């Protein structure tokens, strides 16, 4: 297993479940994220709270690596978007910080017309 592969772990302070990995391929640091995939609204709330967000991307079909999201990635590929590239977005772990249920990707409503060939008007 590569050192870039993220793994499940526990926060040493609150003992909450987290994912731990390096923040990127170069000039990286160790990060812990809450293992709850975010919606676009959830990512915005996390960023407003001063948290960083990370995309979990599958590498060579097996390992999962974290990549810190830039403002261009956040705007161009919103968290929870259903497109050609599908990946989950997570917020860095803050002990006791809980985002509202609407911030979670799997609870967010599907985009209008996402699974349809009908135009959205
Ligand atoms: Zn904690």
Chain segment 2-55, per-residue pLDDT in tens = 688 889 999 999 999 999 999 888 888 899 999 999 988 999 999 999 999 999
Chain segment 83-112, per-residue pLDDT in tens = 666 678 999 999 998 877 767 775 444 444
Cα-based angle 20, 73, 100 (whole degrees, multiple of 5): 60
Question: What is this structure's pTM?
Answer: 0.77
Could you tell me the distance, in angstroms and rounded to a whole number, from the CA of residue 91 to the centre of ligand 1?
A: 13
For residue 30, the 8-state DSSP code is E
| Ligand 1 ion local residues (Cβ < 5 A) | 11, 13-14, 16, 95
Strands (E), 1-121: 7-10, 17-22, 30-33, 53-59, 63-68, 88-91
Tell me what pLDDT residue 24 has.
Answer: 82
Domain chopping of the chain, boundaries: 7-101
Tell me what pLDDT residue 109 has.
Answer: 46
């Amino acid at each position: 297993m590569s050192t870039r592969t993220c793994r499940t772990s526990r926060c040493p302070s609150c003992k909450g479940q987290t994912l731990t990995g390096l923040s990127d391929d170069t000039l990286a640091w160790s990060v812990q994220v809450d293992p709850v995939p975010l919606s676009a609204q959830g990512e915005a709330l996390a960023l407003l709270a001063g948290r960083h967000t990370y995309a979990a991307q599958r590498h060579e079909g097996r390992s999962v690596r974290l990549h810190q999201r830039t403002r261009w990635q956040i705007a161009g590929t919103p968290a929870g978007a259903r497109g050609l590239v599908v990946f989950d977005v997570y917020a860095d772990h803050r002990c006791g910080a809980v985002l509202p249920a609407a911030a979670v990707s799997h609870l967010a409503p599907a985009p209008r017309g996402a699974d349809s060939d009908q135009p959205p008007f």
